[in-house]
Amino acid sequence: MTTITPIEPQTYEHIDVTKVSANIGAEIAGVRIGGDLPPEVVSEIRQALLSHRVVFLRDQHHAGEADQKEFAGLLGTLTKPHPTVAGENGVLPIDSERSRANSWHTDVTFVDRVPAISVLRAITLPPYGGTTVWANTVLAYQSLHPGLKALADSLRAIHSNLYDYVRDDETRWIGGIDTQEQAYRDEFSQQEFETEHPVVRIHPESGERALLLGHFVKSFLGVSTADSNDLFALFQRHIVRLENTVRWNWRDGDIAIWDNRSTQHYAVSDYDDQPRLLHRITVAGDVPVGPDGRPSVPRVGDAEDYSVIAAPPALV
């Protein structure tokens, strides 16, 4: 029988935390985001994030771009919006008119310094649909058979921003690709990045092991294309089991914060041609390290201009 380590209950003195599913996700109340939050509140938000992987704040109607950015800055050093896609003032627009990232991924894994945390604020929401789903990559690892854990521990994967669009095209772009989508793809791939990551990374704050995969995976190092595809499907299947996920129905004033080191996410394209716009700000992370102590290695491209390498925090 597989032993799964449960999320340890935490005691909070300055915020209210309510789980929204058994294995991932919690709603935080009693917080009005901005740059003036006391350190003890920020510390408890971070602890809730580490415990629940993704946290949600409702009714943040007061929050504008400056509030979001100042709040995110309390969690760490901010990155530029994206290594290849233009943003403005540190913000990356998640805009349905340009692209729909409706496939499972961890953000920006094609560089060596994978972002630690993302803060996403709803701007314009469709009248229906437009939900986002997150998956717990720590629990996915813990639920593997011991033999599969050993295999995952030993593997390294090549991540690239020039990933295989064709793999998901039948479901993601029914009816073909419009001009704006093609322009976004061209911008996304204007500069190539490729990084070798461990398939299992050690979380720098909790010491937990998490699967580091998602749609930027190109292949597994030293493994044939056919076997790479089979291994990818096997491990991804464990990550996206429904019991391992939480699905969030966005409302005006919502903000989601997720630990990019222990999750994947999927923006569901189920809102027809309705507009959907959210603003994302990311917090710099460290270079992932595998169970053998070997760090990720950049193979193509230099991400220095995108983000600093954050110093690994002390284990909690």
Contact 102, 266 (CB under 8 A): yes
Q: Kindly write down the DSSP assignment for every residue of the chain, as one continuous string.
A: ----PPPPP---SSSEEEESSSSS-EEEES---STT--HHHHHHHHHHHHHHSEEEE---TT--HHHHHHHHHTTSPBPPS-SSS--BTTBEEEETTT----S-B-TTTTSSS--SEEEEEEEE--SS---EEEEEHHHHHHTS-HHHHHHHHH-EEEEESS--GGGGHHHHSTT---HHHHHHHHHHTSS--EEEEESEEE-TTT--EEE--STTEEEETT--HHHHHHHHHHHHHHHT-GGGEEEE---TT-EEEEETTSEEEEE---STT---EEEEEEE-----B-TTSPBPEEEE---TTT---PPPPPP-
Q: How many residues does the chain have?
A: 316
Q: What is the pLDDT of residue 122?
A: 98
The confidence score (pLDDT) of residue 188 equals 46
Among 52, 82, 105, 238, the active-site one is 105
Choose the catalytic residue: 209, 265, 276, 279.
265
Q: What is the pLDDT of residues 154-200, one digit of tens each?
A: 999 999 998 754 445 444 444 455 555 555 455 545 589 999 999 99
Question: Has domain 16-300 been given CATH number 3.60.130.10?
Answer: yes
Structure-token pair, residue 22: 């058994």
Please report how many Cα atoms fall inside a 13 Å half-sphere around the Cα of residue 126, on the Cβ side. Answer: 19
Q: Given this model, what pLDDT does residue 173 score?
A: 44
Structure tokens at 63: 């929050």
The one catalytic residue among 52, 113, 280, 286:
280
Q: What is the model's pLDDT at position 182?
A: 55
Q: pTM of whole model > 0.75?
A: yes
280 noted as active-site residue: yes
Concerning whether 67 is annotated as a catalytic residue, the answer is no
| CA–CA gap between residue 155 and residue 302 (Å, rounded) | 23
Note if 82 is an active site residue.
no
Task: Tell me the mean pLDDT per 10 residues along the chain, length 316.
Answer: 54 96 98 97 97 98 98 97 85 86 92 98 97 98 98 98 59 50 52 96 97 97 97 98 98 98 96 96 98 98 95 68
Residue-level pLDDT at 184: 45
Nearest to 134 by CA among 19, 270, 245, 215: 245
Q: Which one from 107, 112, 254, 259 is the annotated catalytic residue?
A: 107
Specify whether 238 is catalytic: no
What would the pLDDT profile of 188-244 be if each residue is shown by its tens digit? Answer: 455 899 999 999 999 999 999 999 999 999 999 999 999 999 999 999 999 999 999
